[in-house]
Structure 1
Amino acid sequence: MKKMKMNGYCALLSTVMLAGLLAACTAKNGDDAAKADSSDKYKADGPRLGYKYDPTVTISMGRLNIPTIKYKEGENIQDNVHTRWMKNELGIDLKTPWTVQGWDNLNAKVRLLLSANEELPDLMLIQDPLLLEELIDAGKIMAVDDYFNKWASPTVKEAFSVDPAAWYVTKRNDKHYGIPTLTSGVPGGRLMFIRNDWLNKLGLQPPKTIDELEKVLDAFVTKDPGGNGAKNTIGLTAGLKNSLIEQTADVSPIFGAYGAIPSQWMKLKNGEIGYGSVQPEIKPALAKLREWMAKGYLTKEVALSDGTKASEAFAAGKAGVMFGPHHTNLNSAKNLLKNVPGASYDFYALPTGPDGKVGYAGEKSYSSVMVINKNFKYMDAFMLYLNSLYEFWNPQGTLFRYGLADGYDYVMVNGKPEYNVPGGKQEVKDKHLTNNRAYFPGKEAVIYKKLHEGGKAESSIEKEFEAFGPMQIKAGHLSNNVYKNTEVPTIFTGAATKTMKAKWERLEKMEKEMFFRIIYGEAPLEDYDKFVQDWKAGGGEQITKEVNDWYNSVK
């Protein structure tokens, strides 16, 4: 990545009156980034940008190693284009003392460190609210308020103020213990992807209701649209190993068609907050999934597969229908066209239920929390890193003028950036410390709308989205704008309540076991009513009261 020119940056920063940075800019002109000894880190009186530590500062982070993230030959999670950018451009040397695969393993690793009273790495990404509470209770992580207020850039502060609910999970006694990893606002939405070639072959129309979807699934499973004679077609591919409401290949649209979403807290008609899994609308949805399992529309492996695994069935041409986010166009659906000659697909609105209801599981405004060791010495350096990433959204910025990295998400051809990278695009954003883009809530929706309506791509991110092609632009616009009101938002985003800490793990286990037993036909549907009673008596009723108390305190 090209080195930033400081003279241009000084002119930019003067417009936002960042006095501390102006001093750094005037200290040295030319093509080199400003340098300062790390001992002056606490002297910065404002946000830092265009700054490089010299000598470098070392930051450690225990990380989630995600198998689906691809690296170029010779690169890995510890040494890649992004870690080199951190060191070469910011003067931050990232060390990775340990990695684990899967959130469950990360949780176990951190709890082991806590039980042994061992020193934690400087940074960790935490997804489990209960584990976050344990870290706060143990006094192992710092409150970030003073540092964020002092050193976050205007762009960062704006992004993190769009939805205050993103901060709720980190809050304890009016302080915030960690920085949330923001989502896009409507992270992918939900669309129904269907094999169009199969619909055409069987003379079927795209389904608009649950009943019509059932007829399509039956035809896909019984009439061998793939033509292999094996009658092994999967009607609806779904991965429920981790949750009933995964973003990819989930079944939340089936529940949403009946009016309730499991495994999340939702606003009820009476204005109170209730847990979706114990609402009466869940029972008919479970009955429908049970019926589809018995008829073979769902594969028996749904409880053993996560969303990623289930989506592979669609990509391999084995499944006819899948619910997924708009960016399914860029992976599973795209791979279908590569893997199966003559295959075609399209995406549609989610099916409505018997009473015309429609919905899918909304996502929280954050996906995880970056927690910081209470003994961490370089919080100013981490804020420099965060500020720098968010310059991606600054149309006047020069840091990511064309994209994140030449040769990865764009290539320079005759002095101009091209976003169709020969040999395939290599994502840089999934190598960020958050494993995703530095999201600015709501911005993607605006971009997709602009491009869908024929607007000219001007910024680097607009050009990146334009390169996705018309199918993805249409899907992104539909998900983020047209179908946005079909999202059923999750209301509770706060820290774990008192009773949650003691009883939630057992309640979740009880719920998962009961739902799977009903769906697989191993327990009668009537057992759902007993589950609701046991859930309430086992702590659920008290937790519901605590969640409502929390909601009344923040609304």
Structure 2
Amino acid sequence: MQRNKISLLVLATIVGLGTLLSGCGDQEEVKPTASNSPQSEASKSTNKMKITMFNQGTFNAAAPIPPREEDIQRQMLEKALDIDLDMMIPQAGQATTKLNTLIAGGDIPDLIFLKSRADLAQYYDQGVLADLTPYLDQFPELQKRFSSDSWEAMSYQGKTIGVPGYDNVNGMSRSFFIRNDWLKKLNMEVPTTPDELFEVMKAFTEKDPDGNGKNDTYGFIGGMNKEGNLQTYGFDSLMWMFGVNPPSAIEVKDNQPIFLFIDPKMKEALAYIHKMMEANVVDPDWVTMNTPDLLDQKLFKGKVGFMIRDARRLEPDYQQKMKEISGEVPEWIVIPPMKGPYGDQIVERKSFQGNSWAISAKADKDKIIRILSMLNYLFTDKEAYPNFAYGIKGIHWDVVDGKIKNKTSELSKEMKEKYLWVDHYRMPRRGDDAEYFSFQNPKTTEAFTNNQQYVGPTLPGNLLTADPSDTLAADRTRFINESLVKFMTGKEPLSNWDNFLQTLDTKFDMQKYKETAIKQFKEAGIIK
């Protein structure tokens, strides 16, 4: 497997952690199965090997570790790999301190879960972690399990020093919600292009779709966070129709970095949003929408016809909130993202792989092989998968009509609390596994599954780190954010776009930022 060289500059990266669900129940005997060589060879060993695991990758750090005789997942791992597993769960917020204390005392855990690539590189530089490059070719299935960009994040100085920790979850939080009942009343179809979407939003605003005789509905609602960033609040999804996004979004094409926030297509995206503003199809409350909860309230009230929200808003609990707040349950449906003028059809970009499993430099060859065999079993054994991803067979999941059925959502609160510890083993769950989430509404599953095809690849700009000598970085980002808002609202005419670019160059040294990006991309092997 080829690995690109990553420099010391490229240490810190975005930590992507999905929103995860827990589940519990009574226990039932499960027969573990070992997978193919070399893992099966490890399971045949006559000497049980002790492996210590520092598991801050647990999905519930507050859950207790059960005794071995009650811990079915631990039993499976120990039997399949012929190991004695000693798992440590650090308390939330204390993981780094605890790990550093262990390292300082010379008691380095054999297997360590790390939450950021910065930590992975730092501990390797300190001599704490092993180089896994010589061993990974023995585990082709493990290599196939994760995407090339996830493995790329494990590469440092031309070596592979970690195994991806677990999949991030994509294709859920940026779902395109639209009022289907309003579409039906106005005799309109689901929009598929930006122009069609504009006409729908205009009709939702002007044609009294709720039939109350009042001018109190809007086509769209978005927002921005308290720092003035438009990302994740809806407007960025409109920009993706044109293949661009706000600061930090950088592509590489034809061996050159493309800064999407100053790309000519960004001007088109801003013109589209400005057109929406001029037509008054945007709820004017958007300027106060600086938390997800506030946007949810707009969804529940049902006075906006189109917005970007989490697919789980189709679940019964949220449907009940809609009924309590608006007196009805609007017929919200999740639709595919619009296909833009350049062919872009993106619901969101895949999150960067920040988390990882690393192995102690103190581990000898046999132990490294045994640990990689364990990870191979965890992440690639199909029969073992539901026992780790979902929980205990017969309680959290079962086989119904020949298919695996996750029953977590059906469990009582008491049963969930009784078996919270199964969350320590959920790391193998796939980020696109709808069954894992145990959705109660089939429409949620459908929306989540359909969205997967519109998740774009991770942008290489995620690998970049700030240049400590770039003293204008914060001011530059603030200026970009403020300018984009001014352009889309009309406070600054788009005829001044060239002035905006010139100001970036003359006042905020955009050239220095470009040179830093090119330098880091070259060191990472992304630009030749």
> Smaller-chain TM-score range?
0.5 to 0.7
Q: Counterpart in 1 of 2:196? A: 212
Structure 2: how far apart are the matches of 1:524 and 1:331? 36
Structure 2: how far apart are the matches of 1:148 and 1:194? 50
The amino acid across from 1:343 in the alignment is P
Structure 2: how far apart are the matches of 1:398 and 1:539? 48
Change (3 A) 1:290 1:92: farther
Q: How does 1:85-164 map to 2 (within 5 A)?
A: 87=74, 89-90=76-77, 92-100=85-93, 123-127=112-116, 133-137=121-125, 139=126, 141-145=128-132, 149=136, 155-160=141-146, 163-164=147-148
Structure 2: how far apart are the matches of 1:501 and 1:131? 18
Q: How does 1:333-348 map to 2 (within 5 A)?
A: 335-339=317-321, 340=323, 341-348=328-335
Q: Counterpart in 1 of 2:81? A: none
Q: Counterpart in 1 of 2:4? A: none
Q: Is the 8 A contact 2:244 2:265 kept in 1?
A: yes
**1:76 partnered with 2:62:** yes
Structure 2: how far apart are the matches of 1:334 and 1:315? 13
Structure 1: how far apart are the matches of 2:71 and 2:508? 50
Deviations 1:219-257 (A, max 9, x none): 5456473959794768234565686454xx543332122
TM-score by length of structure 1 reads 0.64
Q: Counterpart in 2 of 1:514? A: 480
Change (3 A) 1:512 1:433: farther
Structure 2: how far apart are the matches of 1:431 and 1:397? 14
Q: Pick from 537, 541, 549 the counterpart of residue 510 of structure 2.
A: 537
Structure 1: how far apart are the matches of 2:304 and 2:458? 29
Q: Pick from 458, 475, 482 the counterpart of residue 447 of structure 2.
A: 475
Q: How does 1:251-266 map to 2 (within 5 A)?
A: 251-262=235-246, 263-266=248-251
Change (3 A) 1:472 1:250: same
Report the CA distance between 1:549 and its aligned residue.
2.2
Change (3 A) 1:142 1:531: farther
Q: Pick from 305, 311, 334 the counterpart of residue 291 of structure 2.
A: 305
Q: Secondary structure of 1:235's match?
A: coil
Report the CA distance between 1:541 and its aligned residue.
1.6
Report the CA distance between 1:145 and its aligned residue.
0.6
Q: Is the 8 A contact 1:314 1:336 kept in 2?
A: no
Change (3 A) 1:62 1:469: closer
Number of equivalenced pairs: 468
Change (3 A) 1:554 1:365: farther
Change (3 A) 1:253 1:510: same
Structure 1: how far apart are the matches of 2:144 and 2:291? 38
Identical counterparts, % of pairs: 14
Change (3 A) 1:175 1:216: same
The amino acid across from 2:48 in the alignment is A
165-174 vs 355-364, which moves further: 355-364
Q: Is the 8 A contact 2:223 2:290 kept in 1?
A: no
TM-score by length of structure 2 reads 0.66
Change (3 A) 1:334 1:343: same
Q: Pick from 518, 522, 526 the counterpart of residue 549 of structure 1.
A: 522
Report the CA distance between 1:274 and its aligned residue.
1.7
Change (3 A) 1:549 1:301: same
Q: Counterpart in 1 of 2:430? A: 439
Q: Is the 8 A contact 1:274 1:544 kept in 2?
A: no
**1:389 partnered with 2:401:** no
Q: Counterpart in 2 of 1:502? A: 468
Report the CA distance between 1:194 and its aligned residue.
0.7
- RMSD over equivalenced CA pairs, Å: 5.3
Structure 2: how far apart are the matches of 1:239 and 1:16? 51
Structure 1: how far apart are the matches of 2:472 and 2:115? 21
**1:368 partnered with 2:344:** no
Q: Pick from 304, 314, 321 the counterpart of residue 299 of structure 2.
A: 314
Q: Secondary structure of 2:355's match?
A: strand
Deviations 1:253-307 (A, max 9, x none): 3212223233322244x5533222232222332344456567443643567325x
**1:36 partnered with 2:48:** yes
Structure 1 spans left out of the alignment, 5+ residues: 28-34, 42-56, 101-105, 445-460
RCO comparison, higher one (Cα < 8 Å, 6+):
2
Q: How does 1:150-299 map to 2 (within 5 A)?
A: 155-160=141-146, 163-181=147-165, 183=167, 187=171, 191-220=175-204, 223=208, 225=210, 231=216, 235-237=220-222, 240=225, 244-246=230-232, 250-262=234-246, 263-268=248-253, 270=254, 272-289=256-273, 292=276, 295=280, 296-297=282-283, 299=285
Q: Secondary structure of 2:307's match?
A: strand
Structure 2: how far apart are the matches of 1:84 and 1:490? 40
Q: Counterpart in 1 of 2:17? A: none
Change (3 A) 1:171 1:518: same
Q: Secondary structure of 2:164's match?
A: strand
The amino acid across from 1:99 in the alignment is A
Structure 2: how far apart are the matches of 1:199 and 1:466? 30
Change (3 A) 1:2 1:210: same
Change (3 A) 1:153 1:424: farther
Q: Is the 8 A contact 1:197 1:343 kept in 2?
A: yes
**1:524 partnered with 2:506:** no
Change (3 A) 1:95 1:462: closer
Q: Is the 8 A contact 1:336 1:343 kept in 2?
A: no
Q: Is the 8 A contact 2:467 2:516 kept in 1?
A: no
Structure 2: how far apart are the matches of 1:352 and 1:399? 36
Q: Counterpart in 1 of 2:18? A: none
Q: Secondary structure of 1:502's match?
A: coil
